[in-house]
């Protein structure tokens, strides 16, 4: 079993740390935020993610997982470090590397004081060439050592989906990594040896590109389905039926999950990664018309929803869902949060039902409200009971799927004006005061 330090107790870092500890590895989670470190050491989770808290509680209790603010101590106690810090978009759309560079420099400084061989593996999403042009030079400059000789280097992207991250970890669709030395490559193979998936060991830049290709492909599929849905509706055709039948052709390996006409995409990966890939193409003087159109069309889908709500009349809007997807409290680049902010700015009285965000606030999680970069006074707009939301609203705006809410929403669809960005029932179609965004 390996001794691993995980830098960054965010979504990727905390899930990776808990799962690695469950598998029997000795794991030290490292962060600059004392609240997150304290949360882990108390056996609690800083974020909402299905199955994560009992996993953290168990691994902290048996001593396989702990958290610290002390970088030097973490490096001294482990053989390999995962860098799982954020890479938010820079103002020009390029990938933001500030946190990655700082983490590499801090780790390298600690490695310089360590006699034993240590591997540094970046898991943060970075564009092709970043390891060779930015990370490795930063590691060598801060340590005074030579990468591949004095310490190991690898890149190991994650493909976890929020709300199903632990399931995805143990049943992955793709495992890919790159390493410049045999020691790091061997450890990464050993860590993944028990998983039901082929391990693809590739050059660093190839692994970097696969991550961006994966995220950009998912972004393209969502936008494509929405455009087909919009056109189909204008022709009197059910866009979801069209896409459902198209997705039955599994020979072309289409994932039905992303091929359902509906609302805009969001979250911590797709928007910023499409921006970064566009920026990379521009720097290389390569046309990227489709990627340009993806973000424009995604914004247009938010505009479309805003117009639909405005056409409904009424002043009080009851919004079902505010996080970027069901099953998480994450608001990073949530299109629902963007839509909510616009409606509030127009003077609507907006109330929100989101049980996962509600849970984060009710339990006082350190990550509550994470990613809310809008002007929404989120905590004071949350409504705990769906029936209360429906009864007090002039218009219902459905954004996320919550199993316990579907029956009540369906029963209300012909009684209260409703804008449905999700589709509360497979066969429901736009009629009267019920309007589906793509059907």
Tell me the catalytic residues. Answer: 269
- Is 58 among the annotated ligand-binding positions? no
**Residue 243 is assigned to a ligand binding site:** no
Spatial distance between the Cα atoms of 27 and 63, rounded to a whole number of angstroms: 9
Is 415 one of the annotated binding-site residues?
no
Q: Measured between alpha carbons, how far is 78 from 64 in angstroms, rounded to an integer? A: 12
Question: Does 262 belong to an annotated binding site?
Answer: yes
Tokens of 430: 């736009």
238 annotated ligand binder: no
Q: Is 258 annotated as ligand-binding?
A: yes
260 is in an annotated binding site: yes
Interatomic CA distance for residues 341 and 88, integer angstroms? 21
Tell whether residue 325 is among the known ligand binding residues: yes
Distance CA 11, CA 18 (A): 11
Is 45 a known ligand-binding residue?
Answer: no
The answer on whether 87 is annotated among ligand-binding residues is yes
Residue 33 assigned ligand-binding role? no
CA–CA dist 154, 181 (Å, integer): 8
Closest CA to 258 of 276, 246, 275, 274: 246
188 assigned ligand-binding residue: no
3-state secondary structure of 171: coil
Phi/psi for 223 (5° steps) reads -65, -40
Supply the angle between the helices 289-312 and 335-345 in degrees, to the nearest 10: 50
Asked if 264 and 302 touch (Cβ cutoff 8 Å), the reply is yes
Tokens of residue 23, six digits? 């598998």
Query: What are the residues whose beta carbons fall under 8 Å from the beta carbon of 157, sequence distance 6 or more?
Result: 123, 125, 176, 177, 207, 208, 210, 211
**Residue 275 marked as a ligand binder:** no
Residue appearing with tokens 């052709």 = 249
- The answer to whether 364 is a known ligand-binding residue is no
- 3 belongs to an annotated ligand binding site: no
Query: Is residue 125 annotated as involved in ligand binding?
Result: yes
Residue 161 labelled as part of a binding site: yes
CA distance 40 to 35: 9
Chain centroid to CA 286 = 28
CA 356 to chain CA centroid, nearest Å: 15
Tell whether 211 is in a known binding site.
Answer: yes
- The 3-class secondary structure across 54-104, one letter per residue, is HHHHHHHHCCCEEEECCHHHHHHCCCEEEECCCCCECCCCCECCHHHHHHH
How far is residue 9 from each of residues 118, 152, 172, measured CA to CA in Å? 21, 22, 21
Query: Binding site for NAD(+): what residues are annotated?
Result: 31, 36, 87, 125, 162, 272, 332
Query: Binding site: what residues are annotated?
Result: 31, 36, 87, 125, 159-162, 211, 258-262, 266, 272, 325, 332
Query: Binding site for substrate: what residues are annotated?
Result: 159-162, 211, 258-262, 266, 325
């Amino acid at each position: 079993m390996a001794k691993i330090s995980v830098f960054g107790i965010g979504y990727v870092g905390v899930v990776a740390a808990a799962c690695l500890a469950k598998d029997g590895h000795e794991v030290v989670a490292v962060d600059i935020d004392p609240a997150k470190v304290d949360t882990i050491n108390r056996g609690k989770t800083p974020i909402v993610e299905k199955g994560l808290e009992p996993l953290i509680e168990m691994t902290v209790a048996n001593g396989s997982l702990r958290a610290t603010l002390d970088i030097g101590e973490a490096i001294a106690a482990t053989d390999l470090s995962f860098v799982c810090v954020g890479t938010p978009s820079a103002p020009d759309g390029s990938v933001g590397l500030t946190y990655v560079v700082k983490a590499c420099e801090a780790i390298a400084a600690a490695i310089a004081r360590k006699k034993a061989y240590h591997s540094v593996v970046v898991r943060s999403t970075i564009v092709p060439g970043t390891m060779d042009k930015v990370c490795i030079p930063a590691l060598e400059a801060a340590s005074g050592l030579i990468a591949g000789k004095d310490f190991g280097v690898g890149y190991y992207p994650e493909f976890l989906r929020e709300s199903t991250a632990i399931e995805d970890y143990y049943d992955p669709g793709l495992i890919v990594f790159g390493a410049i030395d045999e020691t790091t490559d061997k450890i990464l193979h050993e860590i993944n040896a028990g998983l039901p998936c082929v391990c693809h060991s590739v050059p660093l830049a190839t692994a970097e590109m696969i991550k961006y290709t994966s995220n950009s492909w998912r972004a393209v599929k969502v936008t494509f389905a929405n455009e087909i849905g919009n056109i189909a509706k204008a022709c009197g055709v059910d866009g979801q039926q069209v896409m459902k039948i198209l997705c039955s052709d599994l020979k072309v390996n289409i994932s039905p999950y992303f091929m359902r006409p509906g609302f805009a995409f969001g979250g911590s990966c797709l928007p910023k990664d499409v921006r970064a890939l566009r920026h990379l193409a521009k720097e290389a003087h390569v046309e990227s018309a489709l990627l340009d159109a993806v973000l424009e069309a995604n914004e247009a889908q938010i505009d479309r929803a805003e117009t639909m709500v405005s056409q409904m009349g009424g002043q009080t809007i009851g919004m079902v869902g505010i996080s970027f997807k069901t099953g998480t409290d994450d608001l990073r680049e949530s299109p629902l949060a963007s839509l909510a902010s616009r409606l509030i700015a127009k003077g609507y009285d907006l109330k929100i039902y989101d049980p996962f965000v509600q849970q984060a606030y009710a339990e006082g999680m350190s990550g509550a409200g994470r990613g809310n970069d809008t002007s929404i006074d989120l905590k004071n707009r949350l409504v705990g009971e769906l029936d209360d939301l429906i009864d007090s609203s002039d218009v219902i705006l459905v954004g996320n799927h919550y199993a316990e809410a579907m029956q009540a929403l369906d029963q209300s669809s012909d009684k209260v004006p409703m804008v449905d960005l999700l589709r509360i029932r497979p066969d429901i179609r736009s009629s009267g005061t019920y309007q589906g965004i793509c059907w």
